[in-house]
Amino acid sequence: MTVEISLEEAGATGRYLARLPGIDALSEMTFQRLPGNRVRINSTRVPEALRGQGIAQLLVERVVADAREQGFTILPACSYVEAQARRHPDWQDVIELPAR
């Protein structure tokens, strides 16, 4: 499966979009840039027909890679991103998890 991930930004807000060739439905992860070089991930949405194919995981992996490359910290307000971050301790260098 080939997934194309792109980034759209408008001021302090933006989204990562995942597209599959030949499929009109888009998956997205929305975010907001915050002071202190931090990015809050607000939501991750994958259409019902595309769920279970790892698309949301690819979106999270992309923001983690961008955080490492660009030097920002991720604050997960999205439950999916927080759950994935807790499963991947190797992401703790760029993800600020809330205390439990």
Q: Residues 7-21: what's their mean pLDDT?
A: 95
Using alpha carbons, select from 71, 72, 65 the residue that is nearest to residue 88.
65
Round to whole Å and give the CA distance between 39 and 24. Answer: 28
Please state which CATH number belongs to domain 4-91.
3.40.630.30
Render pLDDT for 33-81 as a digit per residue (tens, 0 to 9): 999 999 999 999 999 989 999 999 999 999 999 999 999 999 999 999 9
pLDDT for 22 equals 84
Q: Which pLDDT belongs to residue 99?
A: 80
**What's the pLDDT at 39?**
98
